[in-house]
């Protein structure tokens, strides 16, 4: 499988701060959903910004779809990547929903007539067309994130980066946004990088990378990562719900010789156990 993003031996620190990344390398496969997990301050958001050229690298290289991230390629790279940030308020540039979706198109000098078509299609894609006249003050956090996603869909990128995009939403809004991204990913064959400290969000990923204090401490499929509950707790993250349940069952004498299963498989296992006896 092709690596759509290659992070090669990068080092980075903010001004007057100690080195955050020291010789970090990481690959993102084309078409996968990659979760980058770690507690607040672990450096995961900074990594996203480096990939999008929003912070400037000191050492090492990042290559996005064959293009080196540098000043010269920056606009092409940003055409390939759509980012949804944490605070819904701070990425809403337009005065209304439709103006906000148009913002990225205006930047790329898309012709007006075409722009109206794209805005309509994108807003319908995220079920926000009926809200096109609303001002941001009259939208919920989840609705604003939907608009942000419409703004990304409008530019047909290859990669979506969710930078803690659901952390300020209530549980319903969170689920809602993740389902939406999943749907859009499947429809447009996108690569998704979700940066999060929500374990249940990470559980839906194809692959998980664990970052702690700027270091990649683990990288594997969710089954393997979540089997290591001690490691998760050590770096301040929760074990997924199913792992907690498996541990509790063990305490009651119901033993599963695995530390993690996703909910579908755990349900199947419990069902079998209950009916077989």
Partner 1 sequence: MDKAISFEQVTHTYQANTPYAQNALADVSLVIPNNSFTAIIGHTGSGKSTLVQHINALLKPTKGSVQVLGKVITSATTNKNLKAFRQHVGMVFQFPEKQLFEETVIKDIMFGPKNYGVSDADAQQAAKSAMKLVGLDESLAEKSPFDLSGGQMRRVAIAGVLAMKPEILILDEPTAGLDPRGHKEIMDLAQQLHDKDQMTIILVTHQMDDVVNYASQVVVMDEGKIVKTGTAAEIFADPGWVYKMQLNLPSSAEFAQKLVDSGVPIGKLPLTIDQLATKISQLVAEGADTDE
Partner 2 sequence: MNNFLFGRYLPGNSWVHQMSPQSKLMLSFYFVIVIFFANNLASYAALAALIAIVILLSGVSILFFLKGIRPLIWLIIFTVALQILFSAGGTVLWKWGPFSVTNLSLINGGFIFIRFLLIIMISTVLTLTTTPLAIADGVQTVLKPLKKVKFPVDTLALMLSIALRFVPTLMDEMETILNAQRSRGVDFGSGSLKHRVQAAVPLLVPLFTGAINHAENLSTAMEARGFSDSEHRSKYRIYRWQLKDTVSWLVFLLVGGLVLYLRK
Q: Which of 9, 25, 40, 107 binds partner 1 (CB under 8 A)?
A: 40
Nearer to partner 1, 61 or 86 (CB): 86
Q: Is 247 in the site for partner 2 (CB under 8 A)?
A: no
Q: Which of 197, 201, 202, 208 binds partner 1 (CB under 8 A)?
A: 197
Q: Is 116 in the site for partner 2 (CB under 8 A)?
A: yes
Q: Which of 9, 39, 107, 188 binds partner 1 (CB under 8 A)?
A: 39
Nearer to partner 1, 57 or 245 (CB): 245
The region of 32-40, 79-87, 175-183, 251-259 touching partner 2 under the rule CB under 8 A is 79-87
Q: Residue 274 CB, nearest distance to partner 1 (Å)?
A: 5
Q: Residue 239 CB, nearest distance to partner 2 (Å)?
A: 32
d(CA 203, CA 198): 9
Which of partner 1, partner 2, none does residue 238 bind (CB under 5 to 8 Å by kind)? partner 1
Q: Residue 173 CB, nearest distance to partner 1 (Å)?
A: 8
Contacting residues for 197 by C-beta, under 8 A, at least 6 apart? 37, 38, 39, 40, 164, 167, 237
Nearer to partner 2, 71 or 230 (CB): 71
Q: How close are the terminal C-alpha atoms of the chain, in Å? A: 44
Nearer to partner 1, 36 or 102 (CB): 36
Q: Is 108 in the site for partner 1 (CB under 8 A)?
A: no
Q: Is 103 in the site for partner 2 (CB under 8 A)?
A: yes
Which of partner 1, partner 2, none does residue 263 bind (CB under 5 to 8 Å by kind)? partner 1
Q: What tokens does 32 get?
A: 């996968």
d(CA 254, CA 259): 13
Q: Is 93 in the site for partner 2 (CB under 8 A)?
A: yes
Which of partner 2, partner 1, none does residue 66 bind (CB under 5 to 8 Å by kind)? none
Q: Is 95 in the site for partner 2 (CB under 8 A)?
A: yes
Q: Which residues bind partner 2 (CB under 8 A)?
A: 49, 52, 54, 75, 78-79, 81, 83, 85, 87, 89-96, 98-99, 102-112, 115-116, 119, 135-137, 151, 155
């Amino acid at each position: 499988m092709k690596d759509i993003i290659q992070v090669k031996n990068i080092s980075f620190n903010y001004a007057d701060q100690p080195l955050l990344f020291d010789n970090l390398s990481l690959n993102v496969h084309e078409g996968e959903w990659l979760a980058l997990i770690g507690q607040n301050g672990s450096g995961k958001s900074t990594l996203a910004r480096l990939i999008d050229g929003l912070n400037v690298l000191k050492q090492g290289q990042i290559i996005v779809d064959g293009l080196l991230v540098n000043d010269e390629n920056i606009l092409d790279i940003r055409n390939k990547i759509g980012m949804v940030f944490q605070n819904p308020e701070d990425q809403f540039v337009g005065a209304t929903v439709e103006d906000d979706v148009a913002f990225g198109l205006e930047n790329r000098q898309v012709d007006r007539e075409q722009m109206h078509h794209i805005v309509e299609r994108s807003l319908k894609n995220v079920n926000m067309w009926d809200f096109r006249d609303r001002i941001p003050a009259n939208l919920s956090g989840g609705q604003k994130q939907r608009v942000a996603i419409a703004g990304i869909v409008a530019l047909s990128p290859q990669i979506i980066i969710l930078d803690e995009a659901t952390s300020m939403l209530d549980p319903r809004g969170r689920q809602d946004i993740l389902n939406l991204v999943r749907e859009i990913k499947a429809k447009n064959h996108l690569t998704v990088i979700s940066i999060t400290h929500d374990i249940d969000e990470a559980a839906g990923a194809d692959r998980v990378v664990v970052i702690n204090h700027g270091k990649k401490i683990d990288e594997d499929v969710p089954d393997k990562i979540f089997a290591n509950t001690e490691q998760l707790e050590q770096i301040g993250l929760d074990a997924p719900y199913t792992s907690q349940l498996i541990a509790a069952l063990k305490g009651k004498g119901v033993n599963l010789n695995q530390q993690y299963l996703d909910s579908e498989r755990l349900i199947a296992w419990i069902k079998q156990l209950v009916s077989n006896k």
